Structure formats: C-alpha cells, structure tokens
Amino acid sequence: MSEPRTIISFDWAIKTVLRDKANFDVWEGFLSALLKERITVLELLESESNQPDDESKYNRVDLMVKDSRDRQVIIELQYTSEWSFLKRLLYGTSKVVVENLKLGESFSRVKKVISISIVYFDIGKGDDYVYHGTTTFHGIHTKHLLQVREGAAPYLAGKPPASALDENVFPEYYLIPLKRFTDVVADDLDEWLYAFKHTEVLDEFHSYNIDALKEKLAPLKMDEQERKRYEAHMRGMAWSEDVLATAHAKGHAEGRAEGRAEGRAELRDKLSLRGMTPGEIDGLLS
C-alpha cells in the first residue's frame, strides 16, 4: 500500500465542513458508492437536526438528493452512538417525514427517506459490515411477498404505472458497523469505509469523488481555533470509548442498567472538566 493521506474524522466532518454546499461532492461520492447509482445532492434540509450553532449540532445531517431516476429522496445520515440506538433511529426517520410534509399537503407528497447510520459499537450478532433493511409484507399462510400498489384507486380504470408497483414509500435503513470492516478493499464503497475507519485515504483509491474527501477533509485546511476544537473532540471521543466500555462491562456484570447510567454521568463530568461545552458533550453522547 502507498503512503496514506490523513483526513479528519467523519463524525467531526458531519458537524462542520460537510454542511457547506461547496463540499456536497463528498456526500455525492459516498452515497453513490453505497446506493450503487449516481446521486446528486440538492440541498441540506433545515430541520432540528441541522441547527447552525454548536449547542445544537449533532452527528446527523439530512439531505435532499436526486437519484438516477430523477426522484427526490431524503437522506438521513448519522454517525451514532449506542444510547437507545434503535428508538432514536425510528424517531429520527419519523421526524424527517413529518418535518418535510407541510400542514394540509397531500400524503402523495411524502418523500422517501433513506436512513444511513455509521455506528462504532457492537450492534448485535452478524457477519457483515453493511446491513440494509426495508419494510415488507408477507402472507402469514403463503409466506409470499405482497406487492403493494400505492394509490390503487386512480388506476382502477387502467393499468397502473410500473413505478406504482416497485416503489416502497417506507423508510429504508443502512447500518454500517465500521469496526467490522475487515480492511479488505474490494469495491468503491470499501474505499470510503476504509477512509472513515482509519481517517486516511490511500493514493490508489479512485472511486467517484473520493479525491474531494481527501482534499476537503484535510486537517491542514483547519485554522488554529478549529484545530484546537477538533483535538479536544478527539480526546473526548477517546475518553468516551474508555468510560462507556467500562460502564457497559459494569452494567453487564451487575445485571442492572444503573451501571451504564453512572458511566454516562461520569463521562459527562470528565469531559466538562476538560473544557468541552454542554452542547459538544451532548453531541458526543447523542
């Protein structure tokens, strides 16, 4: 392997540089590799997950994108921690759907939501590093898949368009436990995951727009103040992993949830003593 190019951590990039329209090409490269089609980012959605101030900024961003079939889709992407993971996942996608349908608008204008979670903890038993889930319906007797025809009434007089049969409006979920990635780079998506896991891009990586990741997330582009905040964030992440691992082991050994709650409180106190603001701590623990 060649000499790698160091980049800033992806969770910090979500909080900072990747909210700038000039850097949307980074999102387009990663999303195109994951979804296996060319994705164009149209805008950053202004929701509660995209607040501009540090007190409200979390490891999540909502994007309106256009896919290869010219459909508009909402991408909810987050670099997330363990606390109430599945419940927050459900809440987040539901909130995105509601926030993007104006009061009184027809339900036909509900946008498809794709939720992508990059996780850095053990999400359960499994042997892969990328998981995809959808909402489907199967017969309890035949076990056959129901091909739902959305908006059947307008098509009673004729054949519905193909898109009415193959488009499922329910959210889709991608779960990416980075620690399970084996560092074997076999395709474009693997190049991106290698970069996210190791905060570095190898010279032989050539997937779509990965050069933008290498250039725009370079630590040298940060000014002195931003670099200090980034270094404090990385120290906080290291503390977080150590303390949460200890709390998890304690809670498991004692068979009670208080162990993890105590660890969370202990971590909050330690990060506060190290100069992190309440908003930065909340973002770290979200």
Pick from 187, 206, 221: which residue ends a domain?
A: 221
Q: Residue 159: what pLDDT?
A: 42
Residue 151 confidence (pLDDT): 54
Identify the CA nearest to 217 among candidates 54, 1, 11, 3: 11
pLDDT at 210: 96
The domain tally of the chain equals 3
Q: What is the pLDDT of residue 115?
A: 94
Low-confidence residues in the chain, pLDDT < 70: 1-3, 47-58, 81-83, 149-167, 237-264, 266-267, 269-286
Range of the domain at 89: 5-135+170-221
Q: Are residues 112 and 153 in the same domain?
A: no
In this structure, the answer to whether residues 240 and 128 fall within a common structural domain is no
- Is 252 found in the same domain as 175? no
Query: Is the domain of 106 the same as that of 127?
Result: yes
Are 101 and 228 contained in the same domain? no
Kindly state whether residues 188 and 124 are assigned to the same domain. Answer: yes
Same domain, 53 and 157: no
Residue-averaged pLDDT of the chain: 79
Order of strands across the sheet with 131-133?
A: 40-44, 60-66, 72-80, 112-119, 172-177, 131-133
Report the pLDDT value the prediction gives residue 27, as an integer from 0 to 100. Answer: 96
Q: What is the pLDDT of residues 144-184, one digit of tens each?
A: 988 776 554 343 344 444 443 346 788 999 999 999 999 99
Q: Are residues 182 and 265 in the same domain?
A: no
What pLDDT is recorded for position 266?
67
Tell me if the pTM is above 0.85: no
31 and 142 fall within a common domain:
no
* pLDDT at residue 110, rounded to an integer: 86
Are 197 and 250 found together in one domain?
A: no
- Together in a domain, 87 and 26: yes
**How far separated are the first and last CA of the chain, in Å rounded?**
36
Q: How far is CA 153 from the centre of its chain?
A: 36
Task: Check whether residue 38 and residue 130 sit in a common domain.
Answer: yes
